[in-house]
Amino acid sequence: MHPAFSVIFLTTLIGAGQGLFLAIFTGQSYSAVRLVATQDSTSFYGLGALLALLFLVAGLFASFFHLGRPERAWRAASMWRTSWLSREVIMLPALMGLIFIYSMMHFFGWDTVLFTSKEGTTLQLSLVVGTVAVIATFLLFICTAMIYASIKFLQEWACALTVVNYLLLGTASGFTLATLFANSTAPDLVPLYGSWAIIITAAAFVTRGASLIRNARIKSKSTIQTAIGIRHTHIQQKSMGMQGGSMNTRDFFHHKTAAFMQVIKWTFLVLVFPLPIILLWIGMESNSSGILLGAFISQYLGLIAERWFFFAQANHPQNLYYQTT
Amino acid sequence: MTQLALVIDLNVCVGCHACVTSCKEWNTSGPAGYMTDENPYGKDPTGTFFNRVQTYEIGEFPHTETVHFPKSCLHCEEPPCVPVCPTGASYKREEDGIVLVDYDKCIGCRYCTWACPYGAREIDEDQKVMKKCTLCVDRIYDQSLPEAERKPACVLACPTSARLFGDVQDPESEVSVTIREQGGYQLMPEWGTKPSNHYLPRRKTRMHIHEDELQRADNPLNKEQRGPSAPVDAPTLDDSTSW
């Protein structure tokens, strides 16, 4: 497929935003059971959720550049019964709304204690809202990934690993961002976020690596023989039916060399996984915001390359009909 | 149930592109608006077409043959492009099985093109909506046309009658009989899309001449050259039998 930067930015930005929200909520839920210290509502939970919301808004903004008719985008919510894209279109604003409510509850102290246990731990209203938002976050990850995984003839995508990778890569970048955020606002939580960021990044390395191995061994179900229905081992296309190209020749192929693909692959394999892990480690040891910022930038740039590769690697069967490009 | 479709005979298609140009002519003048052309007379002309004729070479020189292969939307019975559409702009008509795009609802997100394994959909780069073959839905029901002309423009234009149009669900229709009797097949059957359009394979016309056809057994010349009767001294039937 031809990688569209609007979709690359959409998926990487909302992935980081969703991951950051999961991290902020993890901090609050851990503190509710006194595993970590409770942080300031405004400057940490409220601001952190708002930062996550900012990433989601930026992702939504990027997505509009993918549409030919953005003014009709509201219609995209109508076919949620059948279309994963429609489901994503519903889940993204729903999650944005929930995160907005969650952050406002913290900013303005609209919080009450719903339940107090004998040991003195409390269940706050913001935790309930946050839990709903966490469910929405996971649903949004599934919707986003299923847009790709549900197209069965894009064999590189049609796999459960696609969903796992979207979930883990987004969460990894969000926790890396949370480590950076906590370093300046809540130093107590840096070890928590940093170690989770390293664990999730390592897990994502395993699953993304698995999908790379799987895709390298993929055997295409469709061949030129099934495409035109003629049984001969030697079939060569002489004319595509047009001279100057069409959408079919522009939108379904990356038009880059195999060497370029290899460079992108190794770039993201370095930038997304080992480099951020090392930088997170050093950053946590030295409490340096600069190094943690480096970890996030490295991972985010790497994820852009990763997403580019994800799209470019998918070989659409329609390319069988357009071989002389 | 009705499923309108095309049957394309690859044995007859000569690759003249008359179906391509007549399709463009009819549909660019239609009520749904023009079909964009960019640089139509320039270096890299490009534009929206519902139908393309491609050419393939089968085999290796000198044992090759050329196959011209017209390709348009196959109006699948299980169209994968329809359920993925987030707005419902892509739909399959209940009454005749034609897969259509509502150009007023389409947001141009291109998701349906990803979901079509045949590459049958093309975005209109000017109007920014997805377009595809309509089986000339604005023509085949037009009561103001003579009945013989209520067919897709490509079918009417084909000079070799390589394109048939009809209901593939009706077992007695011309298209169904042709598919059944002449080995009509579907493209990429492995994806379960059940394309309604069928293709008829190349069929070699061969003459089989046997030895005895070269040497006619009942050649009258042989009779003329044969001797008028057996030699006189040979035994006759009368010699060996007694009546």
The 10s digit of each residue's pLDDT in B8-38 is 999 999 999 999 999 999 999 988 889 999 9
Residues A236 and A245: their CA atoms lie apart, in Å, by: 18
The answer to whether residue B174 scores a pLDDT higher than 90 is yes
Question: Lowest-pLDDT range, A75-84, A119-128, A164-173, B231-240?
Answer: B231-240
Mean pLDDT along residues A226-248: 92
Interchain proximity A83–B117, CB inside 8 Å? no
The answer to whether residue A59 scores a pLDDT higher than 90 is yes
| pLDDT confidence tier of residue B219, bands split at 50, 70 and 90 | confident
Interchain proximity A237–B189, CB inside 8 Å? no
Residues A189 and A180: their CA atoms lie apart, in Å, by: 10
Interchain proximity A85–B86, CB inside 8 Å? yes
Interchain proximity A242–B49, CB inside 8 Å? yes
Estimate to the nearest angstrom the gap between the alpha carbon of A80 and the chain centroid.
21
Half-sphere CA count of A150, side-chain side, radius 13 A: 19
DSSP per position, B194-215: --S-EEEPP--------HHHHS
Report the complex ipTM. 0.91
* Per-residue pLDDT, B172: 96
CA distance A269 to chain B (A): 27
Backbone angles phi, psi at A119, to 5 degrees: -80, -5
Mean pLDDT along residues A171-175: 98
Any idea what the Cα angle at residue A203 is, between residues A201 and A207, rounded to 5°? 115
Q: Which residues of B touch A243 (CB under 8 A)?
A: 44-45
* Per-residue pLDDT, B223: 67
The CA-atom distances, in angstroms, between A194 and each of A35, A141, A180, A269, A292 are 16, 22, 9, 20, 9
CB of A79 within 8 Å of a chain B CB? The answer is: yes
Mean pLDDT along residues A28-53: 92
| pLDDT confidence tier of residue A284, bands split at 50, 70 and 90 | very high
* Per-residue pLDDT, B44: 87
A323 vs A306, more confident: A306
| pLDDT confidence tier of residue B122, bands split at 50, 70 and 90 | very high
Residues A277 and A271: their CA atoms lie apart, in Å, by: 10
The CA-atom distances, in angstroms, between A19 and each of A40, A166, A200, B80 are 20, 11, 11, 32
CA distance B42 to chain A (A): 9
Interchain proximity B56–A228, CB inside 8 Å? yes
| pLDDT confidence tier of residue B120, bands split at 50, 70 and 90 | very high
Q: Which residues of B touch A1 (CB under 8 A)?
A: 114
Residues A194 and A174: their CA atoms lie apart, in Å, by: 11
| pLDDT confidence tier of residue B243, bands split at 50, 70 and 90 | low
pLDDT, chain A, mean: 95
* Per-residue pLDDT, A90: 96
Of B39, B83, B122, the CB nearest to A248: B122
Which domains are seen in chain A, by residue range? 5-222+240-322 (1.20.1630.10)
Mean pLDDT along residues A150-168: 96
* Per-residue pLDDT, B133: 95
Q: Which chain B residue lies closest to A311 (C-alpha atoms)?
A: B114
Helix (H) / strand (E) element for A57: namely helix A47-64
pTM for this structure? 0.90
Q: Which residue has the tokens 């046997």?
A: B210
Estimate to the nearest angstrom the gap between the alpha carbon of B149 and the chain centroid.
19
Q: Which of A176, A183, A190 is nearest to A299 (CA)?
A: A176
Of B39, B53, B123, the CB nearest to A244: B39
Q: What percent of chain A has pLDDT over 70?
A: 100
Interchain proximity A85–B84, CB inside 8 Å? yes
Kindly state the tokens that stand for B226: 């044969």
The answer to whether residue A275 scores a pLDDT higher than 90 is yes
Residue A36 makes CB contacts below 8 A (sequence gap 6+) with A27, A30, A188, A189, A192
| pLDDT confidence tier of residue A38, bands split at 50, 70 and 90 | confident
Of B45, B57, B119, the CB nearest to A321: B119
Q: Which chain B residue lies closest to A221 (C-alpha atoms)?
A: B190
CB A254 within 8 A of CB A1: yes
* Per-residue pLDDT, B226: 60
The answer to whether residue A293 scores a pLDDT higher than 90 is yes
Mean pLDDT along residues B196-210: 91
The CA-atom distances, in angstroms, between A309 and each of A148, A154, A201, A220, B103 are 14, 14, 18, 18, 32
Mean pLDDT along residues B78-90: 96
Question: Lowest-pLDDT range, A52-56, A307-311, B35-39?
Answer: B35-39
- Find residues 127-166 of chain A whose CB sits inside 8 Å of chain B: 147, 150-154
Other C-beta atoms lying within 10 Å of the C-beta of residue A115: 10
The answer to whether residue B187 scores a pLDDT higher than 70 is yes
Q: Which residues of B touch A7 (CB under 8 A)?
A: none
Interchain proximity B49–A240, CB inside 8 Å? no
CA distance A187 to chain B (A): 43
| pLDDT confidence tier of residue A231, bands split at 50, 70 and 90 | very high
The answer to whether residue B80 scores a pLDDT higher than 60 is yes
Interchain proximity A67–B107, CB inside 8 Å? yes
Mean pLDDT along residues A203-230: 96
Q: Which chain A residue lies closest to B65 (C-alpha atoms)?
A: A235
* Per-residue pLDDT, B239: 73
| pLDDT confidence tier of residue B228, bands split at 50, 70 and 90 | low
Q: What is the DSSP letter of A320?
A: G
* Per-residue pLDDT, A121: 83
The answer to whether residue A325 scores a pLDDT higher than 60 is no
Other C-beta atoms lying within 10 Å of the C-beta of residue A135: 12
The CA-atom distances, in angstroms, between A8 and each of A12, A157, A243 are 6, 15, 30
Q: Which chain A residue lies closest to B87 (C-alpha atoms)?
A: A76
CA distance B146 to chain A (A): 32
Residues A108 and A185: their CA atoms lie apart, in Å, by: 18
* Per-residue pLDDT, B224: 66
* Per-residue pLDDT, B230: 67
Strands (E), B125-237: 130-131, 163-167, 198-200
Residues B2 and B98: their CA atoms lie apart, in Å, by: 9
The answer to whether residue B82 scores a pLDDT higher than 70 is yes
